[in-house]
Amino acid sequence: MKHCRLCQSLLRSPVIVAESVRDSKNQKVIQCQTCGHVQLLRENPKVVSTSSLSQAAERGGWDLNHFWDVEKHDTYRRISLIKRIIPPPAKVLDIGTGFGFFVGLLTEHGYSCASTETNKTKLAYVPKSVTIIPPDFGNADKPLDFEIVTMFHMLEHLEEPVAFLDLLRESVKSGCRIVIEVPNRDDLLLRESRPYFEFYWQKSHLSYFNRESLADLICRGGLRSSEIFSIQRYGLLNLMSWIIKWEAPN
């Protein structure tokens, strides 16, 4: 990867943010000197990385109840957000749906839901009440008929996030709302806890956004941003554990 994933400028002398990531000692995290975007420096973009959870799922060595325990708090929070944005019955497309916890529960609230997911192992567990559409939706003959499109912790995994948003903009109907959620690299713990700093960076995350770079991405993708806000996913126990014990809470 010789060009910035956000502004496409040539990465001649990028700033080194981290010398390695938690699951690879050979990959650096860098910052583009042109636009400031923080990203993974990967010499071979054809190598696709997945998270440890996804790798376990592909091997079949996982417990679905465990995944639900991990994701249920975020799932309920996201459902509340969608209900505030647009009431049912509305048509929702969730891109990168995983096991389908979010869309499965959303259908129970009266929404008509569809999903895309590249991991076939996970896709097999998406509830039957949810319509599955192919990931190459950009090849459709007519605009996607959805009132809202959601992408939760998906954009940071893409090699070309600007091109993807541009494709999505051209594929949805006029007036469709798009909800994007990504990790926020303006994280207090990155400054306050060296173990957390070493834990934070991972090879499955190709981009690390903050409020400014996310707004830049949205603009470059041809979308109009109505609101960008932060949420607190982890509580005081997590904060103090990383600062005092230098590890995640048990």
pLDDT tier for residue 47 given thresholds of 50, 70 and 90: very low
Boundaries of domain holding 110: 53-59+74-245
CA 134 to chain centre: 18
Decide if 26 is inside a domain. no
Q: 184 lies in a domain?
A: yes
Put simply, whether the predicted model's pTM sits higher than 0.85 gets the answer yes
CA 60, 64, 66, 68 dihedral sign is: positive
249 or 71, which is more confident? 71
Runs of H (alpha helix) within the chain: 52-59, 64-85, 101-108, 120-123, 161-171, 188-192, 194-200, 211-220, 236-240
pLDDT of residue 48: 45
For the cut 60, the answer to whether the pLDDT of residue 60 exceeds it is no
* Residue at 43 is within a domain: no
What residues contact 137, with CB distance under 8 A and at least 6 apart? 116, 144, 171
Whether residue 8 is contained in a domain is answered as no
Domain contains 65: no
Question: In this structure, is residue 174 part of a structural domain?
Answer: yes
What CATH number did the domain enclosing 199 receive? 3.40.50.150
* Helix, strand, coil percentages, rounded to 5, for the chain: 35, 15, 45
168 inside domain: yes
- Reading the block at residue 38, the tokens are 């923080």
pLDDT of residue 49: 45
Element (H, E) at 95: strand 91-95
Give the pLDDT confidence of 94-148 residue by residue, as tens digits. 999 999 999 999 999 999 999 999 999 999 999 999 999 998 887 777 889 999 9
Q: What is the pLDDT of residues 149-200, one digit of tens each?
A: 999 999 999 999 999 999 999 999 999 999 999 999 999 999 999 999 999 9
Count of domains forming the chain:
1
- 41 part of a folded domain: no
